[in-house]
Structure 1
């Protein structure tokens, strides 16, 4: 009899759950007795009277910073919370960093910023699959919709917040903007392993005033890495699961190095799996390193390094008709036949990166602090797709060529099967600096600047595929001695921003008012060396003034109300916004550059928060008005398996709604969490197709589900732990004319685990089982967008043909068992 991994994992789940209930029943009287002796401490008591928060190794945790971007709490319009009564029941001893102090099982830390803001901590991160990336980890937060592509949460960063996707959201990692500076893809799996991730904060709607962004009209996501331990040691995590998934991770801690004040860690991981649909798979090698030097009064220098090598078989995106016909069976071909461009080995993506960030914080005087964060990022491909190109009579740009030399390949039906490569190469260096000057006890003035320089090179080429399909030649196909290409791009970008801000605290610090002004300047230029490219040289210059205002009032020590008014903008996305894309199968460009104005957003929010000894609650109302709203349509180059992103200016868009979340503190080891958002988002203008106008004004915006919600339930008694998550996403329109939509879907995950006592050098070992999509739902999780899927009549009476959107397929059931320990 064959037993599947899923049957084994479910059996383990039931066994661990029953064992936990039995253990809870046996120890209930002991627990009650222990609870009765709990001591309540005040945050204002001397250190000797209250237990210190501890990190993974039991050492005192570092003080929590108000913002990873370096600004003080007051500069962001935040305030220092009044003393909070907390209940201390002993220190949680774990090797993973779990302390069980965050309400909602790690999903609702206390927030004080005068804007809608949510977050996750180690209490939640450590209990998710070790393969998860930043985007998949925040999927339960209010207003966040994550588009899964694999059940393990490794590939893809496709999310939306309030109807805006990841390219409209700023990603900040340790004070540096590490998303792609041109197409704004965050590539969070490249940044950090989840075992090293300390916390993630999500601002659903507005970025920090000093944040180094020029695309964050939809909000900001800030991630921080764990600080190194003060004691020498390390952490080991080994896991395996369905789809032949495995991950091996090790972190080595130096501890405090003599009396130097320096400590650090270096980690290495390897991850791989087979695709859950279709052939192929993914492998990833990753290195993280962080060293910290601290001295004096809040002086510190950190050195953060990351390296990532990742290769994966691309996911094939179906249309709605293909999904209805094939379901999850729509994938690349597992077997090769001559001329088959859909053979899986020809369709791959490579995501490689090297990054260095050096956050520095200095106290220059009693009332003056300086924050400087230089950074360098190198990201490179290639992306690969199979394509048949004409053996003769095809095109190099607009020039028709004669007969090509197939080299190591063969000619089938007049075509040469090739590996169409896009070896993009991008480098960015920048520095973000700000200063806080406390003019008086109640007034803080801040100012700063950000500069970044980016170069981007992208020369596509075609390599003949061997007759057996097992690889391709290193020799590119050439025309008159030049590499046959669809685009030969050299792109350069410079960014300068300046900001000033002033924060005033009144009424015994109950009322805090902040006002600031930022000006962003973006300069871009590039060339396309393909014959016939018009324009040969492209450029864009953007100058945007961005004022912000916020006010918050502390009603009581535990209750806060706030209002804000913010502005933000986004420069046009991707080099395709400026340059033509050619293909050997077409006599003219298959993608034309667009004259796109920068997207501009004006937003208002009013909100209320409560954080107390039993629960945390937050609720906000929001309104956003955008002009020149750019919707990103991702599609295949005609006749190829290469996807490119094309921005479309849809005009104005208005989004209004309400966001709420509720997280409970631990009660009998249980911490529930609830979040939800209601969103009404509409287009304000009709859409110009180039041949006429479609009546899209008043239509529901694409990618804007009316309702999203999540339920979480966490249990942790120090030995047995687990959590349950349920997420719902409403239907979403995928065309501007609302003639096609993506169905609503529901997914749920379960975690079960057991911690053991330390013995010898082995510190708090544990076993953890993660079950993803336990209902094995087959669903569409995201999409590209088109103006209309069906033929539609324009306002001038002409009919425009439909164009079917393509969709992302959500991951099916998966399980991951991991064993970890400190040492």
Structure 2
């Protein structure tokens, strides 16, 4: 996870007031100033327009009537939007975001979108989130904020808690299968998610919200709006978020600073700047197996009681220290990060527009757990031995096999990332019927990773430094911190792209494009650095890998009339292997030369009527070389691949405004994600836990992929009073690749309601709202946290294969409520 200093974030945000921002709504300056030939090209942060940035002049006019009609409606209460791209796309608008629980992160907000499966450990939005699309897990999905990438440069993970207060989110767009080729993605085998922050208002003032909920949830949000300061307007926000964990001991604490500035240079040119900063010091929820839930109950988490070690010795001491490894205070998730980006929008000629987005992302932090170390007065470096009083008995006693002397230590796995990059894109009209979009993306990031052992108070279980910056367990000879591993990766990405959009008449649109992506990962990795004796001897290696691919896309749209459109789109995607793949394979001498690749095809229909609007598509994906962990005969982890997966299904959504204040929205997802062929779990046999053999997975369903997901929402809004009732049905999930263990499906309901009061003097737009999640207090295992090749419970069915351990799952939070009041002061 990630980190930086609050003072630095505020300083950068203040500097942003001299910068400029991006168009987000129909009333923003950038949209107003790009009239005529380039009206369709708002900017990269308007996510609902990312798929039409290269539309021709004819295409813009062709869709004008549909757009005007859609703006007069409220499609699904903001859960649905008009789309024009020849592929599957869905957008959540500001209207729906305003009514959601105020602490919601993007994984919760996209839960109703067809094709998306999302879940979270905590509905406050403070415990990140879990999501997948069409059978692709989150590490296979690209993501941008205001046009800049935020997927982790090494693992492609996204930690949703870090990004964006809901008051600042403008819209969120999901491309379920085929990312646009101009997007800064190096790890998107399937799909892309982009969200944008709102533009600063023209009126100065202060926006304030206060939220309270069960589990002592408290949230304060304040946003300062400068209003128009000549051609520049800005906002800067701060939120403080805390909550007790709903199961087990501990709490969640997150502070965020966001900002945005817009400078309108003239009618055709603008520049913007935005900042997203967060600092969190959360504890973690433990993912549980079905057996753990049955044995310890639904509300079990990590151990809430520390066993003091100072009066124990021998086997009793070792038992207590081992038990204390699971103490909740050792399982932390401290992280801070910031993303600073700018967006320049320039009209170079009547038919030529340029967008330039430079960005810089920084993160520092990680996750932790407990470890077991032994005391030793030996001057020889030995892994997990230390010349320190680890059990608090006042002396250092040499540990032996017969008489253990040691204690529990803090194992902190951290990462620090520096990530600068730039995206440049030209849009050129070649006439009424033809336009080109072309440009490049360049990024060079550095990432260091380490797992360091820190000291823990043996009497209380208090960690000396949860950030792992001091109080290390050290080697006696060198005096260096003891580490499980030390890694460094340098990643350089280069991408060029070109798209041609042709509309020969008012009915047909043809789109074709190609991008070329080149990636280099180089660096080194050390296991047990500094340890040269004992069972765990030091190993190390360097690596320098290159990958490159041409990625074509094509699409056809037929606009039958102002209401109906039909489309087909196809595209090739490519995922550069993660830094973990590169390092672990280098350590065991394996060259995994087949990175992930997909061919995704969408075939669909859209209808936008006066009261009813609908969208439906069927899709097919050929997914090759999905990377999965395996083990050598010596028990060393490396990465193998699932050679081929066949994924297909149906996505649909509909909105029905059956009365002036009443709307029904529904979406449905059918997903069939089948493995083709056997999965190589590594060489070996059933008698050795390292080599796991070939698993007969042909025809099996991918874990954590529900076959059916349904959403329905009934909403009322008369401009003063509003209320929404949502229902969601999720079918069962497999926990292992052999499909021997599954968890049942479940249904949840949520309710929200609010009242908007009238203005009173300097108090503007006061409101109150209530959000209730899991209305019926349903208990369920909601997602697969760690899928196994073969679940332990299914080992008897396949005696020739090693069954590993039990899959672990996330738990659905019981009923939770939040009450929020808010207003603007002008």
For 2:484, the equivalent position in structure 1 comes to: 486
For 1:244, the equivalent position in structure 2 comes to: 216
Judged with a 3 Å threshold, the aligned counterparts in structure 2 of structure 1 residues 797 and 764 are, in CA distance, closer, same or farther, namely closer
Over residues 23-64 of structure 1, what are the superposed CA-to-partner deviations in whole Å (9 max), with x where a residue is unaligned?
xxxxxxxxxxxxxxxxxxxxxxxxxxxxx9779xxx999988
- Tell me which of 780, 800, 803 is aligned to 1:801: 803
Deviation at 1:645, TM superposition (A): 11
Please show how residues 217-296 of structure 1 align to structure 2 within 5 Å.
217-258=189-230, 261-296=231-266
Equivalent pairs counted in the alignment come to 740
> Distance in 1 between the 2:256 and 2:637 partners?
27
SS in 2 for 1:579: helix
Q: Which moved more, 1:198-207 or 1:293-302?
A: 293-302
Q: Which moved more, 1:775-784 or 1:461-470?
A: 461-470
RMSD (Å) for aligned C-alpha atoms? 3.2
Residues 1:659 and 2:624 aligned together: no
Judged with a 3 Å threshold, the aligned counterparts in structure 2 of structure 1 residues 807 and 715 are, in CA distance, closer, same or farther, namely same
Please show how residues 262-661 of structure 1 align to structure 2 within 5 Å.
262-338=232-308, 339=321, 340-391=324-375, 400-401=382-383, 404-407=386-389, 409-410=391-392, 413-473=404-464, 474-479=470-475, 480=477, 481-507=479-505, 509-529=506-526, 530=529, 534-575=539-580, 577-579=582-584, 595=592, 597-631=594-628, 649-661=641-653
For 2:816, the equivalent position in structure 1 comes to: 814
Deviation at 1:791, TM superposition (A): 7.4
TM-score, length-scaled by structure 1: 0.84
SS in 1 for 2:719: coil
TM-score, length-scaled by structure 2: 0.84
Contact 1:657 1:677 in 2 (8 A): yes
Judged with a 3 Å threshold, the aligned counterparts in structure 2 of structure 1 residues 598 and 125 are, in CA distance, closer, same or farther, namely same
Contact 1:102 1:121 in 2 (8 A): no
For 2:716, the equivalent position in structure 1 comes to: 715
Residues 1:756 and 2:753 aligned together: no
Q: Which moved more, 1:157-166 or 1:70-79?
A: 70-79
> Distance in 2 between the 1:108 and 1:189 partners?
24
SS in 2 for 1:130: coil
Please show how residues 680-759 of structure 1 align to structure 2 within 5 Å.
680-690=672-682, 691=684, 692-759=693-760
> Distance in 1 between the 2:27 and 2:576 partners?
43
> Distance in 2 between the 1:533 and 1:598 partners?
29
Residues 1:125 and 2:97 aligned together: yes
Contact 1:574 1:645 in 2 (8 A): no
Deviation at 1:633, TM superposition (A): 9.6
Q: Which moved more, 1:478-487 or 1:236-245?
A: 478-487
Judged with a 3 Å threshold, the aligned counterparts in structure 2 of structure 1 residues 779 and 796 are, in CA distance, closer, same or farther, namely closer
SS in 2 for 1:552: strand
- Structure 2: which 5+ residue stretches go unaligned? 1-24, 309-320, 394-398, 465-469, 532-536, 685-692
> Distance in 2 between the 1:148 and 1:60 partners?
41
Residues 1:164 and 2:136 aligned together: yes
> Distance in 1 between the 2:267 and 2:188 partners?
33
> Distance in 2 between the 1:135 and 1:54 partners?
27
Over residues 536-579 of structure 1, what are the superposed CA-to-partner deviations in whole Å (9 max), with x where a residue is unaligned?
11232111110111111110012111101100011223435513
Over residues 233-287 of structure 1, what are the superposed CA-to-partner deviations in whole Å (9 max), with x where a residue is unaligned?
23111110100001100111111113xx111111111000000000101111111
Contact 2:104 2:123 in 1 (8 A): no
> Distance in 2 between the 1:516 and 1:632 partners?
34
Contact 1:104 1:673 in 2 (8 A): yes
Contact 1:753 1:767 in 2 (8 A): yes
SS in 1 for 2:278: strand
> Distance in 1 between the 2:80 and 2:801 partners?
51
Deviation at 1:188, TM superposition (A): 2.6
